[in-house]
């Protein structure tokens, strides 16, 4: 077959015309300054000879690579799969491709990943692993490369974001538990240097306050990370200091899973003894032994919107004011929550 890649010049020589003409004939925008039949002949020859544009040469010349970078915190967390899918789905429509990197929830790792991506010349970055104060946004700004934040946002303003209404989500969760009769509700928070953890926790105390329920400090414990392991440890200390709690809200589905295992270590059952609600509605939750009641976020749509936003920002003639799209969460009721049982007297367990 073709040992060597066929280039514009190859085409030009074959057709006895100049490479500039070939280039223009192939380009959608500038093909109109070329006579129609030349365009046709060029494109036919390109097809036959298997011409593929050399991305490196294009990038070097025009300064755009038609590629972007995606950074997620954790590849093993299944929530990000549909987000990435959403991103891809719009990227494909515009001839863009994506580098995927992950930060392992580590700020400096994220920073160096972004540096690598910038060095690769990506046209923009979708960042799903932000901390509340994050050097990555300054990094991107100083290199004047477009950046959009998904899900996790950053305290400083002036950056495109697509996030979901976390407060509303928590409000729904609390409302649901209150409806079931729960009053002694605990909260397993995530690290408060991550926006979602911070906001969800704040929304929890606020919503409780709105219902005239003050939440005492021991009702809240912070997990060191948004993972199963973090959730398990935090839940252990929570159960130690809250023997009377009947429900807990986890900042995260993964944390909720950790709560489950801590629960069984204490010999408690869910939802009989304690109700649990998570956040994110990660895939395959329906299959779980205790299907987790959780707050669903529109993963795929989040991916789509962020990609659209980024592409818009990459466009040279875009206006320069930042956008912030806010998506609505949804309460998914499963079996991990149940009405609170009021027991006047102690009853021997069977």
Partner DNA sequence: TTGAATAACGCAAACGTTTGCACTAGAGTA
Partner DNA sequence: TACTCTAGTGCAAACGTTTGCGTTATTCAA
Cβ distance 33 to 24 under 8 Å?
A: yes
Query: Is residue 289 within the footprint of a second copy (CB under 8 A)?
Result: yes
| Residue 49 near DNA by CB under 7 A | no
Q: What's 280's DSSP letter?
A: B
> Measured from the CB atom, is 144 or 158 closer to a second copy?
144
Q: Name beta bridge partners: 327.
A: 164
Which positions from 216 to 255 touch a second copy by CB under 8 A, shown as an x/- string? ----------------------------------------
Among 219, 223, 245, CA closest to 233? 223
24 binds DNA (CB under 7 A): yes
In the list 49, 57, 209, 333, the residue contacting DNA (rule: CB under 7 A) is 57
CA distance 177 to 197: 19
- x/- string (CB under 8 A) for a second copy, residues 40-69? ------------xxxxxx-xx----x-x--
Burial class (CB in 10 A: 0-12, 13-18, 19+), 162: buried
75 binds a second copy per the rule CB under 8 A? yes
Backbone angles phi and psi of 331, in degrees to 5:
-85, 125
Q: Are 174 and 208 in contact (CB under 8 A)?
A: yes
Check residue 2 for interaction with DNA (CB under 7 A).
no
The piece of 147-155, 198-206, 234-242, 288-296 that touches a second copy (CB under 8 A) is: 288-296
> Which tokens hold the place of 113?
């990943």
C-alpha pair distances (Å), 241 with each of 11, 70, 216, 255, 264? 76, 41, 12, 18, 16
Q: How many residues does the chain have?
A: 350
Does residue 272 bind a second copy (CB under 8 A)?
no
Give the residue with the Cβ less far from DNA, 62 or 348.
62
Q: At 60, list the tokens.
A: 């070097």
Using the rule CB under 7 A, is 76 a contact of DNA? Answer: no
**Considering the complex, what minimum distance in angstroms separates the CB of residue 115 from a second copy?**
7
- Is the CB of 53 or the CB of 335 nearer to DNA? 53
Sign of CA dihedral 303, 308, 314, 319: negative
Contact between 89 and DNA per CB under 7 A: no
From the list a second copy, DNA, none, pick the one residue 33 interacts with, judged by a Cβ distance below 5 to 8 Å according to partner type: DNA
Cα separation, 297 vs 5, whole angstroms = 45
Applying CB under 7 A, the residues found at the interface with DNA are 5, 7-9, 16-21, 23-24, 26-27, 30, 33-36, 38, 51-54, 57-58, 60-62
Applying CB under 8 A, the residues found at the interface with a second copy are 1-3, 5, 52-57, 59-60, 65, 67, 75-76, 78, 81-82, 84-85, 88, 97-102, 115-121, 141-144, 257, 260, 283-284, 287-289, 291
């Amino acid at each position: 077959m073709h040992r060597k890649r066929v280039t514009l010049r190859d085409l030009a020589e074959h057709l006895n015309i100049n490479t500039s003409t070939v280039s223009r004939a192939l380009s959608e925008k500038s093909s109109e300054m070329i006579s129609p039949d030349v365009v046709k002949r060029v494109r036919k020859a390109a097809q036959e000879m298997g011409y593929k544009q050399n991305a490196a040469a294009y990038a070097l010349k025009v300064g755009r690579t038609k590629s972007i970078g995606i950074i997620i915190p954790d590849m093993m967390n299944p929530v990000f799969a549909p987000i990435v899918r959403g991103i891809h789905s719009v990227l494909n429509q515009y001839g863009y491709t994506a580098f995927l990197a992950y930060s392992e929830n580590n700020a400096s790792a994220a920073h160096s990943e972004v540096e690598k991506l910038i060095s690769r010349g990506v046209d923009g970055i979708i960042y799903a692993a932000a901390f509340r104060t994050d050097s990555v946004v300054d990094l991107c700004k100083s290199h004047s490369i477009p950046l959009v934040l998904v899900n996790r946002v950053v305290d400083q303003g002036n950056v495109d974001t697509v996030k979901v209404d976390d407060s509303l989500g928590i409000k729904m969760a609390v409302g649901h538990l209150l409806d079931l009769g729960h009053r002694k509700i605990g909260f397993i928070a995530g690290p408060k240097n991550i926006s979602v953890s911070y906001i969800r926790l704040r929304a929890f105390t606020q919503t409780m306050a709105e219902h005239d329920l003050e939440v005492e400090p021991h009702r809240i414990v912070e997990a060191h990370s948004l993972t199963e392991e973090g959730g398990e440890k935090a839940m252990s200390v929570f159960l130690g200091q809250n023997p009377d709690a009947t429900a807990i809200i986890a900042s995260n589905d993964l944390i909720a899973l950790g709560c489950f295992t801590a629960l069984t270590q204490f010999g408690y059952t869910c939802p009989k003894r304690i109700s649990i609600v998570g956040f994110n509605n990660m895939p395959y939750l329906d299959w779980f032994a205790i299907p987790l009641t959780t707050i669903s976020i529109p993963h795929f749509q989040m991916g789509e919107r962020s990609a659209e936003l980024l592409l818009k920002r990459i466009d040279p003639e875009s206006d320069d004011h930042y956008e912030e799209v806010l998506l609505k969460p949804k309460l998914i009721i499963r079996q991990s929550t149940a009405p609170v049982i009021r027991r006047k007297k102690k009853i021997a367990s069977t």
